[in-house]
Amino acid sequence: MNWQPVRDRHRAVPAPRAAGPGETRRPGESEGLTGTLGTDSPLPASWTPSLLPRLFPAVDLLVLGAVAIVLRLPGPAALLYVPAVLLSLAVRGTQRLPLRSRISDDAGSLLTAAGLPLLVLFAWLPVSRVLLLGACSATALLFGRSVAVFVLRSARSRGRLLESVVIVGRNEVATELAHAMTRRSELGLRFVGFLDHPDAAEEVGRDVLARPEELTEVVRRHRVTRVVLCCTDERSPEITGVVRRCRSSTLDICVLPRMPGLGLAASRASLDEVWGIPLLPLRRGAHAPGGGFAKRTLDLLLAPVLSLLTLPVLLLLSIAVRCRNPAAFFRQERITAAGALTRVTKLRTVNATGHTEWTPTPGQCGKLGGWLRGNHLDELPQLWNVLRGGMSLVGPRPERPYYAMRFAAAIPSYSDRHRVVGGITGWAQVHGLHGDTSIVERARFDNQYIEYWSLWLDLVILVRTAGVVLTGLIGSRHNRQRGQ
């Protein structure tokens, strides 16, 4: 039987027949999963998928605002403290709505988020008042979360505020997960179906809703808010690309560990579970709520300072380059986030005009151009691109369209690095992957940066980049003193 894509299948899936004497039910045919697959069951209300991911942020904002009003916190202090706590919770992933309902697992993260921003307020407010603010804020956060979870569980027990969930992959544990989601009404999960490659002997639509590569279409059609990955190793590379393409701030994705019966070296706050089956939530990374705002804020804070500090050096270098070339700068279109084009400004390091090769030769660069490229000082004008918003201080290096298309055709994961705005420096560059180095390894480090992004990682990359530049300059001076 030919496989029928999910976008072409609109009929209701027939209920599975009862098992006859001597037969066993196939996965998905047992009692509890009947009627959960297909499009015949009602979809949740249209506002539910957008409401639930914002439940904890709204509750946190409400209780923190109430504490600020009750304690009569001064306006500037409140405008600094409340957003700082909310941003800390968002970046740490604590505002994610978990499948488990234990607030105690998040207590440590809530206390940390309420306490760290207090360090700034010690210069404005008395110590006793700052400590009172911290204690009240932590208590209010815990109380607000507890009330929200209680109300949510009560509503879900009545069949309201349900979330649609799909399972990618199909094995014994995945079937147990589907049973638990169906039977435990307090979880508020509406199991849509499995995504897998069906066997030739299977009836289409009985066990498998669609193929894994149709995940984006299934998420859109069924308004799915949660995805559980139960994939085998041989299909992991394929699933990785599919999941990366459908990542968003409202889609929660968890992974079933290979050995769920063994304890994982992860905090309880970072784990999730469905009726005793542990799940590992994927980091939101660059897709975390508030992550883009925090990253842009860091750029706007550091880029002007770096521009002023490097302006004298840039002026001297531009004069030196202008003495040897018709122009000191050149601009080039490169691909950045979502395939958009941005014009990158650099100091001219190539003497020959019309250079289109991947890496210029030493003869084309000359001594000055080679020195600028070797110490990465030709990248200084790109600080202006950061101020304009076309680039970030840290991110995957943007590439020329011609080479980007060639690399994307040859390397499956290369296009995934275009999920964020390109940067002056990046995780691949601080590992020495620049110039004529492996593109496969660059894509690997760039995608790792996107998945594990944090403000702290950006700061680490900037410090390491400064260390690389200073080491190169010191080494160049040492070589000149030795006559090399």
How many Å apart are CA 110 and CA 392, to the nearest integer?
30
Give Cα 124 distance to the centre of its chain.
35
Beta bridge partners of 168: 195, 229
Beta bridge partners of 344: 332
Confidence band for 169, pLDDT divided at 50, 70 and 90: confident
Q: Flag the least confident range among 159-173, 274-288, 392-406, 458-472.
A: 274-288
pLDDT at position 2? 36
297 pLDDT higher than 60: yes
pLDDT digits (tens, 9 = 90+) for 39-72: 444 444 455 666 777 888 899 999 999 999 999 8
23 pLDDT higher than 50: no
Top mean pLDDT of 33-47, 55-69, 120-134, 461-475 is at 55-69
How many Å apart are CA 3 and CA 146, to the nearest integer?
46
**Domain spans of the chain, in order of start:** 6-15+25-44+162-283, 51-156, 291-481
How many Å apart are CA 172 and CA 329, to the nearest integer?
61
Q: Flag the least confident range among 25-34, 110-119, 353-362, 364-373.
A: 25-34
113 pLDDT higher than 70: yes
pLDDT at position 9? 36
179 pLDDT higher than 80: yes
Instruction: Give the mean pLDDT of the chain.
Output: 79
How many Å apart are CA 180 and CA 377, to the nearest integer?
58
Distances (CA, A) of 438 to 238, 294, 411, 432: 22, 31, 11, 10
Confidence band for 31, pLDDT divided at 50, 70 and 90: very low
pLDDT digits (tens, 9 = 90+) for 207-261: 688 888 888 888 888 888 899 998 766 566 678 888 888 887 778 888 888 777 7
Q: At what angle do helices 107-115 and 75-91 cross, to 10 degrees?
A: 140
Residue type, 437: T
12 pLDDT higher than 60: no
Question: What's the CATH architecture for 6-15+25-44+162-283?
Answer: 3-Layer(aba) Sandwich (3.40)
Give Cα 411 distance to the centre of its chain.
21
How many Å apart are CA 200 and CA 194, to the nearest integer?
16
Residue of higher predicted confidence among 146 and 287: 146
pLDDT digits (tens, 9 = 90+) for 434-450: 877 889 999 999 999 99
pTM: 0.74
280 pLDDT higher than 90: no
How many Å apart are CA 82 and CA 102, to the nearest integer?
24
